[in-house]
Structure 1
Amino acid sequence: MRAWMLQKLLPFWADVGVDRRHGGFVERLTLDRRPAPDDYKRVRVQARQIYVFSHAHLLGAPSWAMQTARHGADFLFRHCWDDEAGGWLHLVAPDGTPLDRRRDTYDQAFVLHALAWLYRATGDLDVLAGIDRSVAFLDAQLADPAGGGFWEEMTPEGATDRLPRRQNPHMHLLEAFLALHQATDDRAWLDRAGNIVRLFHDRLFDAATGSLGEFFARDWRPAAGTEGRIREPGHHFEWVWLLLHYRRLTGDGTVLAPANALYGFAREKGLIEHGGNPPRAVDSVSDDGAVLAGSARLWPQTEAVKAALAREELLGEVAARLDADRFLTTVFEYLQGEDKVVWQDQIARDGTAMAEYIPASTLYHLFLCLSEYLRVRG
């Protein structure tokens, strides 16, 4: 698997997935493996690819990995920061011209995560300065000291109170803060991670059902109606992985019970048989386990692998080892072609393919899943 990842998967994306004309990375590919003719680039995708190739460099990939990470970082720093109001933009044109000046906390989180790994790989002080600038913006413009956590979006006009509130940006801020701690050995990042974990305990985790809410009102109560009952199994698995590694780094045992509950909920209510194939993690269910979206994207399958690996490694669960292998088999069922370097990104409940493009954003999920498997299993 390691040889395939470093010799097939990543070289393909370092070639076809790179925009040689304008800089940065392409948004997605057509099903025949060509860059799609998109008129935008999401900043989060630029950040995700920088992370992938920075981490690959640390795994021993040849020089092209760091060259690719630097290529992406150059585009990011030149075009994706809002020089007028601060913060990382939401969308730019292929040539870097700003298209959407919203500052989404989800995007800020992924840039921080990317810069953490780029700094870890290079020790570049300019990257560290970019981290400091990013966090200063987050604290000054998006922090919500009254409600906890951060407002999830800042409009070009400066408004920060768009509803519904979202757990997802906070999950990825936790991921970024843990990565920043491991890149710098600065415990201040663990303190920031702890603030996110407290928000998880107080607001995001639904103890009554053992599940994770997605959407919330201004005061962090569940959003009204169906929206407040949506549960994404993929995010349950992702939180399990993060909480158990937070526990590893801090010794905080309070996260164990909710991590167990999230894993149980996602495993019992979020895995559905698709077209006669083994169960896959579906896109969404309700808080009572009723299926809302029975389709299954690739990324939740990768998060299931990571969660099982964390339980195997950090809790010593034999059953989780079996889960990880089973979930990884499902991941590879999504990969296409003899070389397995692209994917069908979403499968309907009857087993038919749904995606008409190959999103580059999924490489982050796939690579992190594979690198965790290799790290844990050796």
Structure 2
Amino acid sequence: MIDEIQKELNEHIIPFWKGLKDNEYGGYYGYLDYDLKLDKKAKKGAILNSRILWFFSRAFNELRDKSLLEEAEHAYRFMKEKMIGDGTNGICWSVTYDGKVLDGTRHTYNQAFAIYALSEFYRASGEREALRMAHELFTVIEEKCRDNDGYLEAFDEDFNLLPNDKLSENGVMADRTMNTALHVLEAYTLLYEVTEDSGQKGAVGDRLAELLLIVKDRIYNKEKRRQEVFFDMNYNSLLDLHSYGHDIEASWLIDLALDTLDGKHLDKNDADEIRSMNLEMVENTYNKAFIDGSFVNECEEGKVDKTRIWWVQSEAMVGFVNGYQRSGETKYLQAAKSIWEYTKNHMIDKRPGSEWFWQVDEYANPGQRPIVEPWKCPYHNGRMCFEITKRLRKGEEQ
């Protein structure tokens, strides 16, 4: 499994995304349709660019191939010059193919991914400007994108609150989302890890600990052993929706946050309760979403969506390996192996010039969704390759 995943990373995922570099206008091309037709004039989303910057930075940190750092530097220049400026007013949502602001929305989710990318790039390059911008974006989130109860969602360029149409789905319009909270948590975890200044590190650690408590007390449903997804301002759930993919992803990202804080900023009893919550989500998704050797999407109002989605398979593999490492339950390791077999056979697109399908139906037929677009990126499947390789190799060594 390790060798196969390493090969997929080195011989398929990395070369594919290198091939999307836009050497004329900067950044990376933003759209490749299902029929593998590249639109060089498609908009370039900031989330896609952030995730590509993070991916190549992490790839360099893992593999030490200088060509990967060059890719990361290319993404960084485009982000800095066309999307973010100095960081003091946040990052926009999207730009045109040639780098003009197309959608100036300041979304908290988007700010978080820029922090995540800049932090990893700083670790790869030592570029202190990247770390400075990451902290500027941290300040933007904390001063402009939240209230006393937690994180809000969408804003205009002057940080006036907007309807959250970009992260609301399934027929609701959410004032708060689990998804934004999760990825702010993820970003703050990495920013905390790479920050040396004690004052800055302490500030990030305090907010990260506070966010962990929000997840535990407001987002997690103890009775149903799952996270709720969409909320009003008062954290009332707007929809009976169990997002299996987000729960298994959260189970390991939250564990990582606790590991990174390493006993600081958070009471031990709270940390222990959160660890138990994570294992509950692993067990619950194993029982409900691990079906026929793969991981289904979600359950809305009691109806299971059996679509298999590229990012959900990726996060399930990492979440189950983490669950195995935390609990010793070998069934989770076997589940991860099974999902990899399914992914090899059905999710990875074997056509020359492609990468992974966005999704396949319950009969493993691929849909017609794009191979690349503002949300389809190397972040989930690339990270799966890094995490599975690192975790299982460490286990072998032990």
Fold agreement, TM-score > 0.5: yes
Provide the rounded CA distance (Å) in 1 between the counterparts of 2:324 and 2:295: 19
Letter in 2 for 1:14: K
Distance 1:184 1:331, change over 3 A: farther
1:327 maps to 2:339: yes
Find 1:127's aligned residue among 127, 130, 142.
130
Find 2:97's aligned residue among 82, 89, 94.
94
Where in structure 2 are the equivalents of 1:332-371 lying within 5 Å? Answer: 332=344, 333-337=346-350, 342-359=355-372, 361-371=376-386
Task: Give 1:34 shift.
Answer: 4.4
Write out per-residue CA displacement over residues 180-235 of structure 1, whole angstroms, 9 at most, x where no aligned residue. 12223535433222111111012110111111111001111112xxxx21221110
Q: Is the 8 A contact 2:295 2:339 kept in 1?
A: no
Task: Give 1:4 shift.
Answer: 4.3
Q: Is the 8 A contact 1:236 1:262 kept in 2?
A: yes
In the alignment, which residue of structure 2 is the partner of 1:230?
241
1:153 maps to 2:136: no
Write out per-residue CA displacement over residues 299-338 of structure 1, whole angstroms, 9 at most, x where no aligned residue. 1011101111112223333222212211222222300117
Letter in 1 for 2:161: T
Q: SS at 2:378's partner residue?
A: helix
Distance 1:281 1:92, change over 3 A: same
In the alignment, which residue of structure 2 is the partner of 1:220?
235
Q: SS at 1:29's partner residue?
A: coil
How many pairs were matched up? 364
Gaps of 5+ in 1: 273-277
Provide the rounded CA distance (Å) in 2 between the counterparts of 1:187 and 1:315: 31
Task: Give 1:257 shift.
Answer: 2.0
Q: SS at 2:233's partner residue?
A: coil
In the alignment, which residue of structure 1 is the partner of 2:283?
264
Provide the rounded CA distance (Å) in 1 between the counterparts of 2:64 and 2:351: 22
Which protein has greater RCO, CA pairs closer than 8 Å, 6+ apart? 2
TM-align CA RMSD: 2.2
Provide the rounded CA distance (Å) in 2 between the counterparts of 1:161 and 1:220: 18
In the alignment, which residue of structure 1 is the partner of 2:310?
298
Provide the rounded CA distance (Å) in 2 between the counterparts of 1:376 and 1:153: 36
Q: SS at 2:84's partner residue?
A: coil
Task: Give 1:348 shift.
Answer: 1.9
Q: Is the 8 A contact 2:30 2:42 kept in 1?
A: no
Task: Give 1:82 shift.
Answer: 6.6
Distance 1:157 1:133, change over 3 A: closer
Letter in 2 for 1:70: E
Letter in 2 for 1:334: M
1:6 maps to 2:10: yes
Q: Is the 8 A contact 2:30 2:40 kept in 1?
A: no
Q: Is the 8 A contact 2:87 2:136 kept in 1?
A: no
Q: SS at 2:147's partner residue?
A: coil
Gaps of 5+ in 2: 164-172, 264-270, 394-398
Distance 1:362 1:123, change over 3 A: same
Provide the rounded CA distance (Å) in 2 between the counterparts of 1:97 and 1:82: 12
Find 1:106's aligned residue among 106, 109, 112.
109
Find 1:281's aligned residue among 295, 314, 317.
295
In the alignment, which residue of structure 2 is the partner of 1:375?
390
Provide the rounded CA distance (Å) in 1 between the counterparts of 2:72 and 2:154: 27
Work out the percentage of aligned pairs sharing the same amino acid.
Answer: 21
TM-score by length of 2: 0.85
Q: SS at 2:371's partner residue?
A: strand
Q: Which deviates more from structure 2 when the two are superposed, residues 245-254 or residues 41-50?
A: 245-254
TM-score by length of 1: 0.89
